[in-house]
Structures are given as C-alpha cells and as structure tokens.
Structure 1
Amino acid sequence: MIKSMTGFGNAGFEDERMVIQVEVRTLNSKFLDLSIRSPRQFNDKELEIRTLVQSILDRGKVSVTIDFQSKGGTEMPVSINEALFGLFYKKYKDLAGTVGDDSQDIFKLAMQSPGVITQLAGEQRNDQEDWEQIKKVFTEALAKCNAYRQDEGNSLEEKLQRNIREIANGLKQIEAEEGNRKERIKQKIRNHFNEWLDENSFDANRFEQELIYYFEKLDITEEIVRLNTHLNYFEKCLNEENSQGKKLGFISQEIGREINTIGSKANDAGMQKHVILMKDELEKVKEQSLNVL
C-alpha cells in the first residue's frame, strides 16, 4: 500500500505547569526538507527532532511548529544583574549629560548591555523535563500526520489504478487493431510490387528489403509485450509495503517510452487515437506519482 507525501497532524497537552501545541505539515519532496519553528530554549533539540521526523515520515517537505507556554511559574527564566544594570545606567546617563542629550532610551540601552540579562541554565528551568513532555506530544502529532498520509495514499492508489487500467484498455484496443494494420501494410507492399512489376522485372532483393523494413521499422510486438510487463509491474508496486514513489516514477518513464515507440512505429490513424489517450492517462500517472512516498 502506498502513502501520500501530503499530510497533516497536530497534538496538544496542558496541565498546571505548561501548555504545548505541536503541528506537522508535509508536502512532496525528493528528500527530507525540514523546517522547524520552536521556542529558543529548545534550539539544541533540532537533531533529535530531525531524527524523529525521518524515522516516521521518511521524506518530504516537512514543516514543524512547536508552541510551548509555561504558566503559573514563580521563577523567571532569566537572571538580571541589578548592580551591573545600575552601573551601565549611571554611566550612560552621565555620558548623555556631557553632550546635553535627554534621550529616553537609556533604560533600554542599559538593559541590553552585556551581562545584564543572563539566560538561566536548563537544569534550573527544568528544560529537559519539559522537553520530554514536548517529545511525547510531538510523536503523537507525527503519528497523526503519518495516518493522514496513509488515508491520502489509499485515495491516490485508487486514482493510479484507474489510470493504469485506462492505459491497459488502450493497449488492448491497439492489439485488437494490430491484425488489421498488418493486412493493410501487406496490401500496401503488394500494391507497390504490382506497380514495380508493371514497369520492371521482378526484383527479389527489393522484395526482401521491403519485408525487412516492415519487420524492423513497423512491427510493434516487442513494444506491446514490454508495455504489458511495465503495467503489471506498476500495479504490483502499488501493493507493496515499502515506499515505492521513486520506483513508480521510473516505471512511468519506461511506460512512456514504449507508448511513444508504439505511436511512431504504428503509423496508423486508428492506433494513434488510442496512443494519444494512453499518453493523457500517463501524464496523470506521472503527476500523481510525484506525491507518492
């Protein structure tokens, strides 16, 4: 069974200490293209987030949003060096007085001075404990996104099967008309030789050359066999458990090659109609395959 690369999942958690909301969105991509938005104190968890995403979602353009709010806390997450702030404030104020400046930004400038505000260590803020809870919520959101992908994959599989069946039906129509096409070609060859015999003596070598041209340039038996094989293999891959998106793309290319060859070799208006319809269905297959994991 196939999975779509389009997915969405969210999860949340709330208790007396914190509120957590996690959202995961995915789109198609050849590789894992991960974008993370999370609180600054968890910036060092990016590698762990990436590992979790890759283990569950494998690949795709993945957008992760983690919202964490602490509530009811009695301690500040930062330390303010009040003595150092006072020194900076006094110094800036004295400097402003020497040039006659009455700027109102001295307080802000002093607060932003080096060493005045210090981020508290993770252990003091229980960051690791908070992260463990976030990770549980994040894993739940990933699981929901993965389930969404599976549901989308089921719908995608039905569409691909319909497209492949339409191509197979077109090939059956071509096979049904192949006998008539051969008769028309044989008649054309006979007519040519009747004209030559009217004007010249019979040339066995020329007759042989004309037959070789037919077998090499116009016969589509091998292409029909190969196309049937590719179509069957495509359907087989749809039912496999592992990720098959890239393989389906490669098979689609081979299907297109055989359809194009049949179209160029057939040289028959009736067959060209079916070839065009098959190409149209194949374009739908290629477009849908891009979104298969």
Structure 2
Amino acid sequence: MEDGHRKTWKTFTNHIQNISQLSIYYLLFLIVFILCNSAFSWEVIKTDYFTVFYDREYEWQAKKFLQSLEYYRPKAEKLTGNIKYHTPVIVEDIGTTSNGMTDPIFNRINLFTYPPSASVLGAGTQSWEATLSLHEYIHLLHLSKVGGIMKVPKALFGNLFMPNLFSLGWVVEGITVYGESQISPYQGRLNDGYYSSYVASRVKDDRFPSILKAAYPPMEYPYLDGIYNYGGMFFDYLAKTYGEDKFREFFDRYGSSIPIVMFNFSAKQTYGASFKDLWKDWQQYEYDRFKDFDMEGKKLTDNGWYTFDLA
C-alpha cells in the first residue's frame, strides 16, 4: 500500500511539474509574441526637424502632431533663441492621461494622445495636438539652450550640464504656458479666463502670491498648478512690458553662465532688475488692473479646497 501511495504521489508531482513547465513556456511565448507584435506595429515619419514614432493605430494623430510641430516650430525657436534638428518624438496612448513629457537629457519628447476635458485645461483648447506640441517643444528648446563657455562642460560631460535645466518651476512652465497661449486668442490657458480670474481673486483678498510661493508651492490651492498659473501670467506681463525678445536674451545669458548662481544676475542684465523686483512690479500691475474686480455668486465655505455635502 505504501508503495502504491508513493507511486501515486510521484505521478501527481510529475504531472504538476509538467503543467508548471508548460505554463512557463506558454507565458514566455505570450510575452515574446506581444513584444514582437508591438515592435512591428510601430511606424516612423521623418522631417529635417523631427522623427516621429507612433503605433500605426494612431497614424492620423501622429500626423496632426507633426503638422503642429512643423507649423509652430518657428514660434518656439523665436521665443527661446534655440533650434534643433531630428528631434525624436514618441506619440503614444497611456490611457486617460492628458499630458506630455519632455526629456532634455536624452533629447526626446513624449506626446500622449488622450485629449483633456474642459475642467483640466479650461475651454481654451481648440486643438490638443497644437497646444501639447508647442508646449513640449518650447520646453526642449528652452532647457537645452547652451552658449558661451558652458558649451565646454556640456561637450565633456553631457546634457546634465545645461544651465537652463537649473531654472525655477515658474520659469520652466511660465514660458510654455505663455507660448501655447499665442496660438490664437481662443487657445491656451492664458486665454481661458481661469488664470486671470484666480489672480484677480487673490488681488481682491490681498493675498497676492510671493515669488517664494511660486518657487516652492505650499500645501494650499492651487498646489503645483501655481508654477503654471503664476509663471504664465508673469511671463505675459514681461512680454507686454519688455517685449518677447527679452525671453531669448535671458535664456541665452543664463544658458551661457554658471547655473543657479547667475540666475538673478542674468535677469538684471536682461531686464535691468532682479526677478524679485520684477515680481513686485507685476504685483502692482495686477492690483491696478483688478482693483474693481468682484466675483459673482455667493461664497459657500471659507475652509478647504474640495468641500462635500454642502446641503
């Protein structure tokens, strides 16, 4: 009887091992099949300035992204004073995330296909492809702008040694929000009304954000959106007061100097004042502009950001 039990148990364990081996082989085959199928489904479109990679399912959107990149490329080059060739652009679907990503270290742009709702970027988004393409390309040209003596460490040690990489968040996002809002009077976050209304409400409450709050967002509304809101509005003020040409002049000066240390010095060379003083000038400009601002409706709560069960 014991020999029979041992034989039955051995047969059972052998059977389990065979199933396990078959499962592993099947899983490996499935992984290889998926990877191969995915690899062979990617296509490429090339121009002198961009190399666009995309899944053939999104060919129409990839062409729209490329069309927007080529059409608005001169605008991005004018704002930043930089030009690049054969930039890799990856168009991909990562789900219901409306965003993009620029990697100046490895010199590439990722554009995500899912368009935003009005509650994300406001009503000023006529074309997701145009807004996202220009926004991300300005990022790449701005952050990779290098000149003067700083070309030496970049050549020796790589793209980590690019001074404009070491910019505050409101500078990095401010120029892109400003740029995307120049596409048309009905496109971009500065043309939506939300950003200006929020700044106006801060003016009314006498709580204008300091440049420190813009640089290091506190745990209060609008959280990380502050660098987009305040940065975009500040750059809009600088453009109206000093002209767009000063942007590329500042990026060139800072991109040719020691990062962080020369940040404010580059501003003084460009604008004749530090960013701290320019921020105060912008604050006065907004106080004058919104001195009679009044919000319609009734305020329901003084606490929190999202408040539920108001009834």
Q: TM-score range by the shorter chain?
A: under 0.3
**Structure with more contact order per residue of length (Cα contacts < 8 Å, sep ≥ 6):** 1
Greater Cα radius of gyration, structure 1 or 2: 1
Answer 1 or 2: which has greater strand percent: 1
